Structures are given as structure tokens and as C-alpha cells.
Amino acid sequence: MLGLLTKLKEPLIETLLLTFVPLIISVILGFLFGTLVFISSDSGIIDTSNNWGLKILNKISNAIINIFRSVPYLIILIWLLPITKLLVGRILGWQAAIPSLVVSATPFYARMTVIAFSEVNKGTIEASKALGANNFEIIFKVLLPESKPALLSSIVVTAINLISYSAMAGAIGAGGLGYEAYQYGLIRENPPLMYMATLLIVLLVFIIQFVGDLIVRKVDKR
Amino acid sequence: MISIINVSKTFKGKNDVSAVKNVSLEIKDKEIFGIVGYSGAGKSTLIRLVNQLEKADSGQILIDGVDICELKGEALRKQRQEIGMIFQHFNLLWSKTVLENIMFPLVLKGLPKKEREEEAIKMAKEVGLEDKLDVYPSTLSGGQKQRVAIARALVLNPKILLCDEATSALDPKTTEEILELLKKINKEYGLTILMISHQMETIQKICHKLAVMADGKIVEQGSVDDIFANPTDPLTKELIQTVDTGVDVNKLSIELKDKYPQGHLLRITFSDKTSEKPILYSIALKLNIPINIVSANLKMTQAGSLGVIYIHIEEKKDIGPFLAELELQGLKVEVV
Ligand SMILES: Nc1ncnc2c1ncn2[C@@H]1O[C@H](COP(=O)(O)OP(=O)(O)OP(=O)(O)O)[C@@H](O)[C@H]1O
Ligand SMILES: [Mg+2]
């Protein structure tokens, strides 16, 4: 038992890296991208009725999100191999999985941001405008705090998605628990190892969900 | 002083909606000015033009001589801080406490934290919320939420307060309290208040002047006393009627429609010239249509007999000729 766990220590760390490194990058990029989509839409922040530049920007960024969200992760992984080589200098190891994980999680979080912002009361945005708030203030002092619970619970969902993607990233030798369970547990017929690795993944998901829910409940004032 | 001069606004779309048509109004300093009209009349659009939440297509809106339609960016935002606004659904920041909500405009203005708090607490006392500072707005009653909104709107000491159906989501007692508060603030601070409502009663209670709006146009305006004593437009008469008899016409329509879901339900409005003759009776007799009067509200006012009658006609009858005859006699008929 203890032997099993020590054997899984390395893969566990890899899974954590494969989850949280792309999570942080994707949440930041996704938030910015989602904000761009939201304010260029008919959201009442900027008057888009005669602004063709904004309308086109909105259409394009929306299309990018939809395309990347509908392509399966494994395909993105393969597409990105050449770029990965350029970016991180190698196509093996956990570092090599980061670009593809970011590329698949960023549009997801961007969409979640748009949804979270859309749920903010339009009247509240309008009232802030009437009080003299500029667009920057509306985004960071109104939209962001008002949609904090939704943005946080989306981080949880994104993290859990990343755990399952990271298992697939094992295909390029990214390591992690999923890869361990598959490669050593299933193929090399070591059932205890397979079950233990799977159990750890399940536990990890439970912990993230639990802690996430706790935080969301604490910040939700509605 | 607010001078609205020949302002028009059309919403472009599949079907263009001309919401405000060449409206001119003058609102003097320290005045409480009410705009009343039915739903869709363009009241909200008009009031939102005053702080440029909506851009006018043409015309001018001068606030102390400065045309706000011409302002952009920072200048517009500065001017907006001189104009408070409250809304039907309060539009508070639900993630912030009462105190933080009231402080929000001061944060935008960049005041230091200590001054912010002092100012906001002072304002909270003014609206009677000093013991609710640290609670979140979702736990407040409607009246208290509107008080937060009022405090937030006034914390920058604006000269003007815009109220878009500020009491329409409140019960009668709370409405009364909020109106009293607005009246007090108007007196104490010399605040100019522009308020809109679909209820004449609300307007009548606190406004000095009023304008009646229908289909994007102002059909009548003047001092509340004058207009109540001598209304000229039929719509004004109808709106006053609802105050005099205490009957909310829209509510009555809905109640009657519930009671008589089948057949035709008509609302006939009598004006001063028509109510003396037995028109309804004679037309019904002539066309052989059995009518059932289900609600009647006729009243003598200084302007003559005004009133509304609801009649119910059974389903099978063709009411086309009946309607035509009534209109011919100068009655206003609506199918409910
Ligand atoms: N943003 C918009 N886009 C398109 N049409 C609009 C918009 N806002 C208002 N309208 C239309 O303009 C007309 C006037 O609307 P407005 O909201 O000003 O009426 P109102 O008098 O305030 O009515 P209510 O009492 O229901 O609030 C309506 O026909 C409405 O459908
Ligand atoms: Mg309105």
C-alpha cells in the first residue's frame, strides 16, 4: 500500500502541475477574452449599434471560442505539436502538454466568463453608468464583483475538465495519474496500481469540488 | 434648470420604434416635475435621455445651459455625477453591503476611504438606514432597497434626481413613505426631481408640475392643480379619473377579463359631451345586442361627467357594427 503510494507520488505531482499551471493561465486569458466578447456584444456597456469594428470583433472572437470549444482535446494536442516544440523546446513531458491544455481550457473559461457577465443585472450596469462609471470601472468594479460566484464556480469546472484532459495528455508522455493508471496499471496488468491511481484522481476531483463550493458559498451574497 | 428642446428618439430595428417625438419641456430648479402616461408611451426613454443613457437623434437637453447631448467621455461622466437616478427595480450592487453601495459613487470619484465612509454614513442616516449599514441588499425590504438607491443617488450631492417608476414595485404604504422621503429631500436640499410614473396618483401626491405623455408626445402639461381642475386632453381626463375613483383601470381590466374569459369585453370611456345622452341604450336596442354592464364608474368632475363602463357581450354576436356606432357617437371604445 505504502509502496503503491510512493510509486504514485511523482504522477500525482505531475497531475497537479498539469491541472493548476494551465488553470491559472487559462483563467487569466479566458477572463480577458470573455470580457472582450462581452463588452463588444450588445451588453449595454458600449453602444455597439453603429460600431462595425466592435461588431466584427465580437463575431470573430465568438467564432474562435466556438471552434476551439468544439474540437476534441486530443486533436488540439496533435495540432499543436509543432508549436509546442517551438515554445517549450520539446514534445514530451508535462511541460509539453501545457500549450494544448491552455488552448482548450481558455475558450471554455472565456465562454463561462461571458455567461457569468450576462447574468449580471443589466439595470445594475446601467445604474453604474448613470453614476458616472467608465467602461473600465464597470468591468472591474461592477461586473467582476457581481459575477464573482459564477466566475469562481467556473474555475472549479475548468479545473476538473483539466484533470480529465491531462489524462489524455499522457499520450505524449505528459505523465500524471491517468497515464500511470493506463500505462502501468492496465497495459502492464497491475490492477492495484490502476485502482489506486484512479482513486486518487477521484479524490482530487472531490476535493477541488468541495473546496470550490465552500468558497463560492462564502462569496455569494445574493 | 433642465430645458428639453425638440428632442426625438427612434429605436432602429426591424420595425423602427419612434419612442420620443419632438418633445419639449422645461423643468425649473427645485421643482418636482412628473411625467405620466401609459406603458409604452416613451416615458423611460425620455428620462433616460436626460442623463444620456439613451442618445437622442435630434434636439437639445440643456442642463444649466449645457447641452448634455454634446458631451462625451470624461465630460459626460462628470455631468452624470451631477444627476442622480433611481429605478423601479433598485439596480443595486448585490455583492456589496448597504454602506458599500452608498459609497460606490464616492469610490468612482476617488475620495479617500475615511471621507467616503463619513459621507455615506451621513447619507444613510438621512434615508433612515443607519442600522443596516453592514447587511447585503438582498435581505432588505423593497422600501429599504429603494432607500439605499436614493442614498447612493444623492451621496454626490447632485442638483437633479431622475426617478424612473421609483415606487411602482412597492406596496401603497411603502410608496407613501418613499414619496415623503423624496419630498423631504426636495425641500431640504433644493433638489430638482424629474419623475415618471404610470400612476397619476403618485404624480399628484408630490409633483408641482406634470406632463402627460402618449405615443411619444406630450399631450398636456401644466401645474398639477390646474390640470386637475381643468384637464383638456381625453387621456388626462382618463388618468385623473383613476385617481378620483381610486380604481386602477389596468387592474380592473385584468380582473374582469378573468371573470369573463369568453365573449367580448369592452371598455367604453365617456367624456363630458357624451355622458348625458342615453347612447349605449339606444344603440344596443337598435342593433338588438344584449349588453351586460359589468362595471361602471361615472363621476361628475369640474370638467363634466367622466367615466368608464365595462360591458360584456356574448360570444356569438358580431360586434363590428356596434363598435362602429359607438365610435360614431364620439365614445372611446376598447376591446379588453
Ligand atoms: N432599447 C430599445 N430598443 C427598441 N425599442 C425600445 C427600446 N427601449 C424602448 N423601446 C420602445 O420604445 C417605446 C417606449 O418605451 P418606454 O420604455 O420609453 O415606455 P414607457 O413609457 O417607459 O413604458 P413603461 O411604463 O412600460 O415603462 C416602446 O414601444 C418600447 O418598446
Ligand atoms: Mg418605463
Q: Do B149 and A141 touch (CB under 8 A)?
A: no
What's the whole-model pTM score?
0.80
Cell of B249: 383601470
Taking only Cα atoms into account, the Rg of chain B, rounded to an integer number of angstroms, comes to 23
Asked whether the beta carbons of residue B87 and residue A131 sit closer than 8 angstroms, the reply is no
Q: Quote the pLDDT of residue A188.
A: 82
Coil, strand or helix at A45: coil
A47, A131, A148, A218, best to mutate vs chain B, most B CBs in 10 Å: A131
The size of chain B, in residues, is 336
Q: Which residues of B touch A (CB under 8 A)?
A: 12, 51, 53, 55, 74, 77-78, 80-81, 83-85, 87, 89-96, 104-105, 107-109, 136, 138, 149, 152-153, 156, 162
* Centroid of ligand 1 to alpha carbon of A165 (angstroms): 48
Residue B39 Cα to ligand 1 middle (Å): 8
Residue B321 Cα, gap to closest chain A Cα (Å): 46
Cβ-based contacts under 8 A for chains A and B: 75
Q: Which CATH superfamily is domain B2-223 in?
A: P-loop containing nucleotide triphosphate hydrolases (3.40.50.300)
Q: Answer whether B39 contacts ligand 1 (Cβ < 6 A).
A: yes
- Check: CATH 3.30.70.260 for B247-335? yes
Is the separation of the CB atoms in B253 and B336 below 8 Å? yes
CA-closest candidate to residue B98, choices B69, B127, B74, B71: B127
What are B33's three cell numbers?
416635475
Ligand 1 probe mutation, B12, B45, B89, B163, most atoms within 8 A of CB: B45
* CA B152 and chain centroid, separation: 21
State the Cα–Cα distance between residues B203 and B231, nearest whole angstrom. Answer: 15
Q: How far is the CA of A85 from the centre of ligand 1 (A)?
A: 57
- Nearest residue (by CA) to ligand 1, atom 14, is B42
Atom of ligand 1 nearest to the CA of B43: 21
Atom of ligand 1 nearest to the CA of B44: 22
Q: In this complex, do A133 and B77 lie within 8 Å of one another by their Cβ atoms?
A: yes
The CA B227 to ligand 2 mean position distance, Å, reads 23
Residues of A in contact with B12 (CB under 8 A): 49
Residue B308 CA to ligand 1 center (angstroms) comes to 27
User: Minimal CA–CA distance to A150: which of A78, A219, A80, A62?
Assistant: A219
What H or E segment, with its residue span, contains residue B135?
none
Q: Which chain B residues are closer than 8 Å to A221 by Cβ?
A: 94-96, 136, 138
Name the residue among B12, B74, B136 with its Cβ closest to that of A221: B136
- Using CA atoms, how far apart are residues B55 and B53, in angstroms rounded to an integer? 7
A146–chain B nearest CA distance, Å = 5
Domains of chain A by range and CATH? 2-219 (1.10.3720.10)
pLDDT of residue B301: 46
Give the type of residue at B213: M
Strand B217-223 with B58-63, pairing = unpaired
**Sign of the torsion angle spanned by Cα atoms B23, B28, B30, B32:** negative
- CA–CA separation, A215 vs B34, rounded Å? 47
Mean pLDDT by 10 residues, chain A (222 residues): 80 90 96 93 81 89 90 87 81 82 94 95 94 94 95 95 85 78 81 87 93 91 76
Q: Where are the domains of chain B?
A: 2-223, 247-335
Q: A20: alpha, beta or left, given left = phi > 0 and alpha = psi -120 to 50? A: alpha
Pairing of strands B17-27, B2-11: antiparallel
- What is the predicted pLDDT for the residue at A81? 83
| Closest alpha carbon to B149 in B104, B198, B183, B214 | B104
pLDDT recorded at residue A181: 82
Q: Which of A129, A131, A221 sits opposite B95 (nearest CB)?
A: A221
* CA B196/CA B213 separation, integer angstroms: 10
Could you tell me the three cell numbers for B90? 433598485
B310 strand-pairing partners: B267, B295
Is the CB of B40 within 6 Å of ligand 1?
Answer: yes
**Residue whose CA is at the smallest distance from ligand 1 atom 9:** B45
ipTM of the complex: 0.85
Contact A126 B83 (CB under 8 A): no
Whether residue B316 contacts residue B290, with contact meaning beta carbons closer than 8 Å, is answered with no
Confidence (pLDDT) at B245: 59
B199 lines ligand 1 (CB under 6 A): no
- C-alpha A194/C-alpha A68 separation (Å) is 32
Q: What is the pLDDT of residues A71-124, one digit of tens each?
A: 888 888 888 888 888 887 777 778 888 889 999 999 999 999 999 999 999 999
Q: How many helices (H) and strands (E) does chain B have?
A: 12, 14
Helices (H), B110-141: 113-126
All 3 cell numbers of residue B192?
A: 430638482
> Is the distance from the beta carbon of residue B45 to the nearest atom of ligand 1 less than 6 Å?
yes
Facing A123 at nearest CB: one of B80, B91, B138: B91
Counting from 1 in the atom list of ligand 1, the atom nearest the Cα of B37 is 21
CA A47 to chain centre: 30
Give the per-residue pLDDT at B253.
75
Over chain B (336 residues), the average pLDDT of each successive run of 10 is 95 91 95 94 96 94 94 92 94 95 95 93 94 94 95 95 93 91 93 93 90 94 88 87 65 78 80 64 81 73 60 78 80 76
